[in-house]
């Protein structure tokens, strides 16, 4: 199944379950793959409005801004995600956010 078909499928599923966090997150990742950064940003921010502890969305937003060379915005989301990861004691995410921050601040 190609990306556009997956987007259509996710949109149809979201019509029935608009508050499904994972479906909203998945739609954001599909928009990243289509290089639709505006829609991807919208979806990831929507996920965080629905569930502020969904740390993967912070990481995706950071990577999205990093890909646009918006390092200040990228660092903002990486650092927010790092704090959330520390709060919920997710060591893997703590390491990933730490590495992402290090790479941006070191460049």
Choose among 8, 83, 93: nearest CA to 52. 83
pLDDT > 90? residue 2: no
Residue with tokens 């502890």: 53
The reported pLDDT for the residue numbered 46 is 98
Residue 106 or 91, more confident: 91
Band of pLDDT at residue 84, cut at 50, 70 and 90: very high
- Which homologous superfamily is 52-107 in? Tetratricopeptide repeat domain (1.25.40.10)
Encoded tokens for 63? 């990577």
pLDDT one-digit tens code per residue, 42-52: 999 999 999 99
User: How is the chain split into domains, by residue range?
Assistant: 1-50, 52-107
pLDDT digits (tens, 9 = 90+) for 12-35: 999 999 999 999 999 999 999 888
């Amino acid at each position: 199944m190609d990306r556009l078909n997956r987007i259509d499928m996710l949109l149809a599923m979201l019509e029935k379950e608009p508050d499904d966090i994972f479906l909203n997150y998945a739609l954001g990742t599909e928009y990243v793959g289509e290089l639709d950064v505006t829609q991807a940003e919208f979806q990831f921010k929507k996920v965080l409005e629905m569930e502020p502890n969904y740390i993967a969305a912070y990481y995706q937003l950071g990577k999205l801004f990093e890909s646009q060379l918006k390092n200040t915005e990228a660092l903002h989301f990486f650092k927010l995600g790092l704090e959330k990861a520390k709060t919920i004691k997710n060591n893997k995410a703590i390491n990933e956010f730490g590495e992402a921050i290090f790479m941006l601040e070191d460049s």
